[in-house]
């Protein structure tokens, strides 16, 4: 069983308290379709919201709970507006794996039983013995295709009349994701075995699929993700990656920063190691495919420099 990180656990408590406070006013019966007949979908983040929109098109009305590109999704606090959206959802798309437990906590507080697509469950990924699961599965392109297929299946069950459209849209989206897989293969062909550093495991699936080797001490990245103190030895070993030339790039999560990550960022810049910024949610004005296309392009540029 995956162990939720410290931030997720704290978030679940926050959501639970909010859910208890809101339960009395937000337990309305489910209204699975909007006034214009669109299927109501709620996604935990705008990443999954965009995938749902790609599959559902004009036939769905999507609400993304976490959609601020400058916000840390782990710091989300429940709201009455979110509770209301979940109370009316026909389909909920969540990440799972301890990342967005607030969704399940809030669903327990409303009188609604929507279909749920859990990306980690769909992925089939499991933690190795003694390790925590890397729950950031939206950086794994094969998983994203599976999620789109699961969304199409759920929407077809809810709205059978338009099943063919959902299936066609999912296949069209999968074709675009196949392009991302091909681009990942090109990075691997040119740079397999190159060392990289990270601040958190957020982009790790993409890096591993590209044949790159994460050199960051696990004690460092796990402490940053769990918002606990980084052991001094782990910080020292991480900083040494840049002065020793062990890594060709730093892949840096812009949405989670602090003194230790700032020190790592400064060390990379001082050593002339290229920095590839990544985020956990969609930047404004992008969709999933264009976002990941840009991430891959930035990675290729960094590795080639």
| Whether the predicted pLDDT of 259 surpasses 90 | yes
Confidence of residue 59 (pLDDT cuts 50, 70, 90): very high
Poorest-pLDDT segment among 1-5, 86-90, 132-136, 239-243 = 1-5
Residue % of the chain over a pLDDT of 70: 86
Q: What is the pLDDT of residues 201-244, one digit of tens each?
A: 999 999 999 999 999 999 999 999 888 999 999 999 999 999 99
10 Å Cβ neighbour count for 103? 27
Contact in structure between 69 and 283 (CB atoms under 8 Å)? yes
Measured between alpha carbons, how far is 303 from 273 in angstroms, rounded to an integer? 9
Q: Domain ranges for the chain, please list them.
A: 6-180, 187-304
**Residue 205 buriedness (CB in 10 A; 0-12 / 13-18 / 19+):** buried
CATH architecture under which domain 6-180 falls: 3-Layer(aba) Sandwich (3.40)
Strand 275-278 and strand 213-214: the pairing is unpaired
Least confident of 28-37, 39-48, 65-74, 162-171: 28-37
Q: Considering the domain 187-304 in this protein, what is its CATH number?
A: 3.40.50.1980
Q: Return the pLDDT at 21.
A: 46
DSSP annotation of 23 reads G
């Amino acid at each position: 069983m995956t162990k939720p990180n410290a931030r997720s656990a704290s978030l679940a408590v926050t959501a639970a308290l909010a859910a208890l406070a809101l339960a009395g006013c937000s337990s309305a019966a489910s209204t699975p379709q909007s006034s214009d007949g669109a299927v109501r979908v709620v996604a935990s983040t705008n990443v999954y919201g965009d995938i749902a929109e790609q599959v559902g098109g004009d036939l769905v009305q999507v609400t993304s709970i976490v959609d601020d590109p400058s916000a840390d999704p782990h710091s989300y606090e429940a709201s009455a507006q979110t509770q209301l959206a979940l109370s009316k959802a026909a389909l909920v798309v969540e990440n799972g794996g301890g990342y967005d437990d607030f969704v399940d906590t809030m669903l327990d507080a409303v009188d609604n039983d929507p279909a749920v697509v859990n990306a980690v469950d769909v992925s089939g990924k499991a933690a190795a013995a003694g390790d925590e699961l890397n729950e950031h599965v939206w950086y794994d392109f094969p998983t994203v295709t599976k999620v789109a297929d699961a969304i199409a299946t759920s929407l077809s069950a809810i709205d059978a009349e338009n099943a063919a459209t959902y299936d066609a849209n999912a296949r069209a989206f999968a074709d675009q994701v196949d392009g991302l897989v091909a681009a990942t293969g090109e990075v691997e062909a040119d740079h397999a075995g190159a060392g990289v550093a990270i601040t958190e495991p957020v982009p790790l699936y993409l890096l591993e699929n590209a044949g790159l080797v994460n050199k960051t001490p696990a004690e460092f990245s796990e402490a940053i993700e769990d918002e606990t103190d980084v052991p001094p030895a782990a910080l020292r070993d991480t900083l040494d990656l840049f002065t020793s030339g062990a890594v060709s790039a730093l892949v840096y999560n812009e949405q989670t920063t602090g003194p230790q990550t700032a020190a790592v960022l400064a060390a990379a810049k001082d050593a002339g190691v290229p920095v590839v910024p990544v985020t956990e949610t969609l930047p404004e004005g992008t969709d999933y495919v264009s976002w990941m296309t840009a991430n891959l392009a930035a990675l290729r540029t960094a590795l080639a420099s």
